[in-house]
Structure 1
């Protein structure tokens, strides 16, 4: 086994969590895998992995070698793919996670233009509201809306979306408009409850309450259902403006309580640290950034980030 293959095997071991998992994945016996990693350790002159009967951990050197191996193998795979197509251009499959409605509204409709520009890149788009572990689940990139909590990831700021409270004109005609956050106690809300707990609405103006826990007879953890409920005149909702941008622009919904709005929600492209970003991923990030930058107005606002 040459050194590049040994590095590929080492990556499989780290990401699979064990020598046995890597052996099963490539269809060889575990002793053969152990022998190859021992040979790599001898060649490098350092221990890469600590093993016990129940666990495996990387040494400090092993972590450094793993991160370097990702860059080396990634560069080679990209070069191999590009040369195989007869040109040094972005090529290969990129696996991306995105919130379902955001993907439907702001990513999928623009993919024909992306594929026209980069015909050798393929996109596997996974629509999910949950926070995906990119490394464990084999994703290259995640498009996320809202504050980021995972400091182990690298994030590229793409845009920011105002936070709005909206309902249809028909709802306001029947129930009146709230003038202050306190008035929401007398209104019907469409309740976003992603884990069966209502998500509080935030307001930043000192004259209003900092939080409002919405109440209403419809709860859902699905943003598409939030849209459908509001457009069916079922109540008010607080949401990022991108969710209702077309309806705000057309007057199908009306935004209220703008003086009490919290800071806009950031939107990021997130990828794992320690990996050199392949050109296929880099151009996809740039393309999404172009989409959001061009779509100013109700959906997105310029900011300094």
Structure 2
């Protein structure tokens, strides 16, 4: 039995919460995963996992062994990075969860520089409009906009972006430029509705927060369509600054209501708590932080 391989597999099963999820990630049959865990238990002379048709839980021995296994795997990778001529180059596949437009605008165009530095690492972008369950999806990290509500994840802030209200010069010439959030009542708004309900627009005024409930003929749960609608002159949008950074810089769209500043939105690299940070994941997160620092709309 390959003990290190079996320990690594055991840790993955615990992180994922099921044999089948790990089997899918590794493209093997579930019985093969179960057999290796059973062999590890036999070698140790202790039951590590309690299995039922619906759940998988750690025994007391399993909980202790899992914590030791996570430390062991982390120490092993750290040791490997120090041998030979100083550094073992990171290698393997990094699976990162990103939203469609953010990945297209800010990550994919810069991957050639990453691959030039880390030829042994490959990247798969798992594209969704919301943060997936990283463990169940076999995803190494997610790029998340805003506050993180899941306490089981570790977040590293790697960028931030202002919240902007924008429209095309043509739209503003025809309908006028709003001077205060109250003026938005007389304007068409391009509405972001991620869960079927319009998301409110928040501003900071002299006397505290201001909330606007947008009204308009067009709503969508897709950021790319928000961009298209604004550029087509359908109205104003209230979005993260990175979504229109290039258009604001070129004058294709114009930012309004600048006096009503909003707190900047944090952009974080998030990963499962308790899982050791593989060097391939660490260098990819570091790379993202570096490239975002060069973007005025994302710099910390």
TM over 0.5: yes
CA shift in 2, pair 1:100/1:155, >3 Å: same
In the alignment, which residue of structure 2 is the partner of 1:38?
Answer: 41
Task: Answer with 13-22 or 108-117: which moved more.
Answer: 13-22
Deviations 1:78-108 (A, max 9, x none): 988999xxx7111111001111111111101
Shift of 1:240: 0.7
Shift of 1:151: 1.4
Deviations 1:216-260 (A, max 9, x none): 111110000000100111100100110000111111111111121
In the alignment, which residue of structure 2 is the partner of 1:275?
Answer: 275
Moved over 3 A (4+): 15-24, 26-30, 32-35, 50-55, 70-83, 206-209
In the alignment, which residue of structure 2 is the partner of 1:300?
Answer: 298
Q: Is the 8 A contact 1:92 1:121 kept in 2?
A: yes
Q: Please, which runs of 5 or more residues in structure 2 have no aligned partner?
A: none
> For 1:67 and 1:123, how far apart are their aligned partners in 2?
28
Deviations 1:2-48 (A, max 9, x none): 43243134235435645688797354496x55742432542xxx653
Q: Is the 8 A contact 2:48 2:61 kept in 1?
A: yes
Report the 3-state secondary structure (helix = DSSP H, G, I; strand = E; otherwise coil) of the residue aligned with 1:159. strand
Shift of 1:212: 0.9
Report the 3-state secondary structure (helix = DSSP H, G, I; strand = E; otherwise coil) of the residue aligned with 1:113. helix
Q: Is the 8 A contact 2:50 2:56 kept in 1?
A: yes
In the alignment, which residue of structure 1 is the partner of 2:179?
Answer: 179
In the alignment, which residue of structure 2 is the partner of 1:192?
Answer: 192
Q: Is the 8 A contact 2:161 2:266 kept in 1?
A: yes
1:1-305 correspondence runs (5 A): 1-15=1-15, 17-18=17-18, 25=29, 27-28=31-32, 32=35, 35-42=38-45, 48-52=48-52, 54-73=54-73, 88-207=88-207, 210-296=210-296, 299-302=297-300
Report the 3-state secondary structure (helix = DSSP H, G, I; strand = E; otherwise coil) of the residue aligned with 1:270. strand
Q: Is the 8 A contact 1:182 1:208 kept in 2?
A: no
RMSD: 2.9
Q: Please, which runs of 5 or more residues in structure 1 have no aligned partner?
A: none
TM-score calculated relative to the size of structure 2: 0.87
> For 1:4 and 1:124, how far apart are their aligned partners in 2?
26
Deviations 1:98-144 (A, max 9, x none): 11111111101101111111111100012211221111100011111
Equivalent pairs counted in the alignment come to 293
> For 1:74 and 1:164, how far apart are their aligned partners in 2?
42
Q: Is the 8 A contact 1:203 1:210 kept in 2?
A: yes
Shift of 1:62: 2.5
> For 1:271 and 1:244, how far apart are their aligned partners in 2?
28
CA shift in 2, pair 1:78/1:95, >3 Å: farther
